[in-house]
Amino acid sequence: MLQPGLSENEMTAVTPALDAVASKEPAPLRASVRNLNFFYGDNQALKGVELPIVEGKVTALIGPSGCGKSTLLRCFNRMHDLYPGNRYQGEIILYPEGINIVAPEVDPMLARLRIGMVFQKPNPFPKSVYENVASGLHIRGIRNRSEVDGRVEAALRQAALWDEVKDRLQESAYGLSGGQQQRLCIARTLAPDPELILLDEPTSALDPIATAKIEELMDELRGAYTIVIVTHNMQQAARISDFTAFMHLGHMVEYDVASLIFTNPTEERTRSYITGRFG
């Protein structure tokens, strides 16, 4: 169990312990949140948050409305920098270099280029299916036509969308269904091969069949990608996450192997939330 204020040594000591429960294999970290505070002006939305992000695993953030899940997710790609008055304190360390991506001297573009994000509502660009997926490659200076073609196809295949769109690559993305648009947004995120993928309630605007497809997809991406997902859906978190973090009122209350959080949480607040007694 993580408690606020763990040092780096303590954090790395905790992770193998968690992993011993999960898979008995070592667990390299892709990122680690350390004593993170975040302020919207005078409103402190995150309070001393600690969270390890294990490489190649799915970490779910759960908690009642307003607890800070989306705020935490948006710190990872410095989205809050787009609005004046927002302030970070503390660290989100990205490995292997160990850079603190919320440090003021670090360019927010660095985080945005290395960390991909998928939002609640599918938000394709008003462009063709092909251009949507190619756009992230173009931004990174990848323009060689055959390389771009190959990576667009690979990303669409990874997002389980290729068979449905291979004959309409030049058509507008707006012609796709909501579920297809969301898989397109995932393909757009995957194409540049991000080090971390953030998903903010990616299925909340989708029907059960489209939701099941996205969940299957996440299962397939596990291992190759490191994923952090915010979800309100407890069954979804239990189904798809390897690790689950429960937040309340801006605090990280409990983090553990998902199977433990959903069967035998340590904290009473976690138990109340997952059994539907509040939130």
Ligand X SMILES: Nc1ncnc2c1ncn2[C@@H]1O[C@H](COP(=O)(O)OP(=O)(O)OP(=O)(O)O)[C@@H](O)[C@H]1O
Interface residue with ligand X among 3, 43, 89, 263 (CB under 6 A) is: 43
Question: Which of 47/222 has CB closer to ligand X?
Answer: 47
Shortest separation between residue 91's beta carbon and ligand X, angstroms? 19
Shortest separation between residue 266's beta carbon and ligand X, angstroms? 21
- Fill in the per-residue mask, 55 to 94: x = in contact with ligand X (CB under 6 A), - = not in contact: --------x-xxxxxxx-----------------------
Is residue 119 a contact point for ligand X (CB under 6 A)? no
Q: How many residues bind ligand X (CB under 6 A)?
A: 11
Give the Cα separation of 154 and 149 in Å (integer). Answer: 9
Question: Which of 43/144 has CB closer to ligand X?
Answer: 43
Question: Which of 95/119 has CB closer to ligand X?
Answer: 119
Question: Which of 42/105 has CB closer to ligand X?
Answer: 42
Question: Which of 18/79 has CB closer to ligand X?
Answer: 79
The footprint of ligand X (CB under 6 A) covers 40, 43, 45, 63, 65-71
